[in-house]
Amino acid sequence: MVNPMLERLWRIAPALSAITILLLLWESYVALSGIAPTTLPAPSRIWAQGVLNWPSLAQNTWPTVQATVLGFMLSLCVAFVLSVVIDFSPALRRALLPVLVISQTLPLIAIAPLVILWFGFGLAPKILLVAFVTFFPMLVAWLKGYEATEPDLEWLLGTMGAGRAAIFRQARLPSALPYFFAGLRISTTYAVVAAIFAEYAGAARGLGIYILSAKNNFRPDLVLAAVGVSAVLTLCLFGLAILAERIAMPWARFREPRR
């Protein structure tokens, strides 16, 4: 038996090496070319300045985390409720689905300032915008997943005396879980960016505001430090999604390994 910790380390080794090499290339380019740090700061400088400015960076990270987490939770609920409604009612499917698709074609750059105009500079508009950006992949994933239910299984449940609701709970919902979690992963990668974008459009504090003011002060190092923080946040969210998937689908470990 191989040590599972070692094995996990071995699996992420290529990704870690690629990132390290990229950072090294970046660092040596900055050192060799003599490019001004106000144009392109080296990774080491970004790190040092990030640490130095940590108190204000952290202060601006918290509102972003709040908007992201609350927005995402709203988004999870909205996606699920909409998916159930659409799955149960063909009429509502025909009515709602086109509207929802059109909603996703609206440019965020136009939506964000409007939502801020309506709901003010507080947390609410950020939550709404994060939910708006992230609910759709999950909704589509749920719907696709429901449709992937094995017809024979629904037939079987029918012969056992199960009604529409029982068939949904026993067959359609669990069949859709793998699809949902695929959608969830996609959505997590949009969430933090959406929150930052919403702050960009108007907020009192937050990573978006921090980036905006760092840019205005000609501090690309601090802009990039904030970008680094947002990347870490996204990775945390992504990791949580994978963890939730493991917990919710204990049977998935036993499926045929596909290589």
Partner 1 sequence: MTPRLSVSDLAKAYDGLQVLDGLDLEVGKGEFVSLLGPSGAGKSTLFRLLTGGRPDRGTIRLDGAPIAEQTAPFAFMPQRDALMDWRTIIGNASLGLEIAGVPRHEARARVAPLFAEFGLSGFQHHYPAQLSGGMRQRAALLRTIVMDRPMLLLDEPFGALDALTRAGMQRWLAAMWQRHRWTALLITHDVREAILLSDRIYLLSPRPARVVAEIHVPLPRPRSQADLATPEALRIEARLLDTLLDPSQGQIP
* Chain contacts with partner 1 (rule: CB under 8 A): 150, 152-153, 155-162, 166, 170-171, 174, 177, 249-251, 254-256
Amino acid identity of residue 86, one-letter, is I
Least Cβ distance, residue 158 to partner 1 (angstroms): 6
In whole angstroms, the minimum distance from the beta carbon of 154 to partner 1 comes to 9
Nearer to partner 1 by Cβ, of 34 and 161: the residue is 161
Give the single-character DSSP code of 171. I
| CA pseudo-torsion sign 9, 13, 15, 19 | positive
User: Can you spell out the DSSP letters for 7-25?
Assistant: HHHHHHHHHHHHHHHHHHH
Nearer to partner 1, 155 or 218 (CB): 155
Q: Which residue has the tokens 């505001």?
A: 209
Is 58 or 244 the residue whose CB approaches partner 1 more closely? Answer: 244
- Cite the DSSP H helix spans in 120-256: 123-147, 151-160, 164-167, 173-200, 207-216, 220-248
The CB-of-134 to partner 1 minimum distance in angstroms stands at 26
For partner 1, the closer of residues 22 and 166 by Cβ is 166
Q: How far is CA 97 from CA 60, 102, 180, in A?
A: 37, 9, 17
Q: How far apart are CA 144 and CA 148, in angstroms?
A: 6
Closer to partner 1 by Cβ: residue 148 or 242? 148
Q: Which residues contact 120 (CB under 8 A, 6 or more apart)?
A: none
CB of 254 vs partner 1, minimal distance in Å: 4
Least separation in angstroms between residue 163's CB and partner 1 is 9
Task: Give the nearest distance from C-beta 223 to partner 1 in angstroms.
Answer: 46
Only one residue has tokens 């709901």, namely 119
Please answer whether residues 149 and 92 qualify as being in contact, where contact means their C-beta atoms are separated by less than 8 angstroms: no
**CB 162, min distance to partner 1, A:** 5
Interatomic CA distance for residues 205 and 47, integer angstroms: 22
Question: Which is closer to partner 1, CB of 235 or CB of 252?
Answer: 252
| Residue 64 or 149 with smaller CB distance to partner 1 | 149
Q: DSSP assignment, residue 230?
A: H
